Amino acid sequence: MVKAFLRKLLSLILYPFKFIIKTLIGLLKRLKFSIAFKISTTYLILYIIIIMTVALATSAGYLIFELQKFEATRAAKDAEEIISTFPDFNKINTEEESFSSFEIFDKNLNTFYTSGGSGRYADNLIVIAEKIVFSNEYIHSESFLKNGVPYYMNVSYPMEDMLRDVWRISLMVLISGAIGLMFFAPIVSSTSYKLIGPIKKMTEITKTITVNNINTRLDVKGTEDELKELSETFNEMMDRIEGGYKIQQQFVSDASHELRTPIAVIKGYVDMLDRWGKNDKAVLEESIAAIKNETDNMQDLIEKLLFIARSDRSTLNFTKEDFRIKTVLNEIEKETKMIDTSHKLYFKFYDDATIYGDKMRIKQAVRILLDNAMKYTPPGEYIMVSGYIQDEYYVIKVEDTGVGINKNDLDKIFDRLYRAEESRSRQISGHGLGLSIAKIIVLGHKGKIKVKSSPKKGSAFSLMFPYLDS
Ligand code: ADP
């Protein structure tokens, strides 16, 4: 009960202080100080602390030195004189001496003789320091033997003069420190502002960067320090952003270009129909077939573009489940054999495995490779699809003996909308998006996609998916 009451009382008493401290901290947090101001203030506070320590140490040093000197000369002599008068101490007239009073104690530390004083033997530093601080008096104490009996003695000296000197020394150090501060403060402040100058510049430049001047970079000249490193890192980041932005722009421009062709074709046929075709059955049929073909083409392109855009926005969802890969491969084999009758097709699935993945997407990726193999392999040539386990992956390999890919093109075929010159010039249908999509699907399953190809001999594409068990 009492404890709780006391606790409540204490918290009530402390409440105003807590409130003030809380408000102050809140205020300081809300105030926006510049880094330069904070650095300057920190250095100046450090400087003031150093000056104060120096003043204190100098004064203390001076005091100790003077007292030691005093002990060895004056105090020792006076003590000797007092002892020599034992036991007629009243022979000593303190008015004529440099000490103000003295006391003698017997072996039980009871007062034996006193000409004034505290009545207590000053046997330790704390008592001596207490006297210096509160009474401006220095007590010399020593013990002596008289007729084999121990006695103790205090001799008190007024210390006003010595303390005045000590005070003067402190004051002088503090004044010199203050004069130093007048020179030091502007130097510290200007140096700090100079130091953080680049940050200000960086902020100003960064504020002005938009897509229209995305090639703006920070000035990295000057001394080698963390700020230079920061500028360089910022510039490298901007390089990456600019690179990505350019690729995006190129992609948009290429995609628009791809869409222009089918639209132009459709428009051409519509114009033709408008002028002559309405009553001409042959023109009508040709136009409808062409328009249908082009709209299919456009739909295919837009779906592919949407797939890539979704992947970029990370909104592409894979519906994953455990499934046996061979069932999917068997389906693909059946479908391909139905569609393609012009190539020599071989399917050989050596192993089966359970894969955790999106069945439809994996099928889509294999179909992309097969479509390419069919497109880029002349009729009568070979297309082989195999499936087998290699280390921790299930590999689906699509090989052909078709036109192959140039070494220069090999690095780029996975880029969006990239088509090798060969495919463009031969007017083989396609948009250069199939392999980008296959790559997205494979990476979405933590897999790999590999290609080996030599021009005019053929290509081999491998999709590699991690599997659960065989
Ligand atoms: P598309 O086939 O629609 O042009 P892809 O992204 O699927 O787009 O392929 C990109 C390019 O890679 C193709 O234009 C073609 O030049 C090359 N390529 C892909 N597969 C093969 C292959 N099996 N044989 C030869 N070249 C291929």
Q: Are 278 and 370 part of one and the same domain? A: no
Domains contained in the chain, number: 3
pLDDT at 1: 67
What is the CA(373)–ligand 1 centre distance, in A? 8
Nearest residue (by CA) to ligand 1, atom 4, is 432
Residue 369 belongs to some domain of the structure: yes
Residue 207 belongs to some domain of the structure: no
Residue 205 belongs to some domain of the structure: no
Q: Are 387 and 395 in contact (CB under 8 A)?
A: yes
Q: Are 22 and 134 part of one and the same domain? A: yes
* Averaged pLDDT, groups of 10, the chain, 470 residues long: 81 85 77 78 90 93 92 90 87 84 91 86 85 89 91 92 92 94 88 81 87 86 78 91 88 86 90 82 88 92 91 90 97 95 96 96 96 95 97 97 93 90 78 94 97 95 94
**Rounded to an integer, what distance in angstroms lies between the CA atom of residue 192 and that of residue 363?**
64
Q: Are 148 and 99 in contact (CB under 8 A)?
A: no
What is the CA(442)–ligand 1 centre distance, in A? 17
Phi, psi of 51 (to 5 degrees): -60, -40
432 lines ligand 1 (CB under 6 A): yes
pLDDT at 223: 65
Q: What is the CA radius of gyration of the chain?
A: 48
Strand order in the sheet with 393-400: 344-349, 382-390, 393-400, 458-466, 448-454
Q: Are 152 and 104 in contact (CB under 8 A)?
A: yes
Which tokens is 319 given? Answer: 């519906």
Which tokens is 157 given? Answer: 């000296």
Q: Which atom of ligand 1 is nearest to the CA of 403?
A: 25
Q: Are 296 and 339 part of one and the same domain? A: no
Q: Are 49 and 141 part of one and the same domain? A: yes
Q: Are 32 and 84 part of one and the same domain? A: yes
**Rounded to an integer, what distance in angstroms lies between the CA atom of residue 142 and that of residue 199?**
67
**CATH label of the domain that carries residue 274:** 1.10.287.130
Length of the chain: 470
Is pTM beyond 0.75? Reply is: no
- Ligand 1 pocket: which of 261, 305, 370, 376 to mutate (most atoms <8 Å of CB)? 376
pLDDT at 251: 84
What is the CA(432)–ligand 1 centre distance, in A? 7
Nearest to 156 by CA among 108, 122, 107, 112: 122
Q: Are 74 and 109 part of one and the same domain? A: yes
What are the contacts of 227-232 at 24+ separation with CB within 8 A? 227/198, 227/199, 228/198, 230/202, 231/198, 231/202
Residue 66 belongs to some domain of the structure: yes
Residue 217 belongs to some domain of the structure: no
- Measured from the Cβ of residue 297, the count of other Cβ atoms closer than 10 Å reads 19
Q: For residue 211, give every residue at least 6 positions away whose Cβ sits within 8 Å of its Cβ, in sequence order, or none.
A: 245
Q: Are 364 and 332 in contact (CB under 8 A)?
A: no
Q: Are 24 and 157 part of one and the same domain? A: yes
Q: 259, 284, 312: which is the final residue of a domain? A: 312
**CATH label of the domain that carries residue 325:** 3.30.565.10
Q: Are 293 and 353 part of one and the same domain? A: no
pLDDT at 372: 96
Q: Are 160 and 246 part of one and the same domain? A: no
Residue 186 belongs to some domain of the structure: no
Residue 192 belongs to some domain of the structure: no
**Rounded to an integer, what distance in angstroms lies between the CA atom of residue 229 and that of residue 236?**
10
297 lines ligand 1 (CB under 6 A): no
Q: Note down the domain range covering 308.
A: 225-312
Q: 291, 312, 333: which is the final residue of a domain? A: 312
Residue 433 belongs to some domain of the structure: yes
- Measured from the Cβ of residue 369, the count of other Cβ atoms closer than 10 Å reads 26
Q: Are 333 and 439 part of one and the same domain? A: yes
- Number of helical H runs and strand E runs in the chain: 12, 11
Q: Are 349 and 246 part of one and the same domain? A: no
Q: What is the 3-state secondary structure (H, E, C) of 289-308?
A: HHHHHHHHHHHHHHHHHHHH
- Ligand 1 pocket: which of 254, 405, 463 to mutate (most atoms <8 Å of CB)? 405
Q: Residue 468 to residues 272, 329, 357: CA-CA distances in angstroms? A: 58, 17, 10
- DSSP 3-state helix, strand, coil percentages of the chain (rounded to 5)? 60, 15, 25
308 lines ligand 1 (CB under 6 A): no
Q: For residue 375, give every residue at least 6 positions away whose Cβ sits within 8 Å of its Cβ, in sequence order, or none.
A: 423, 428, 429, 430
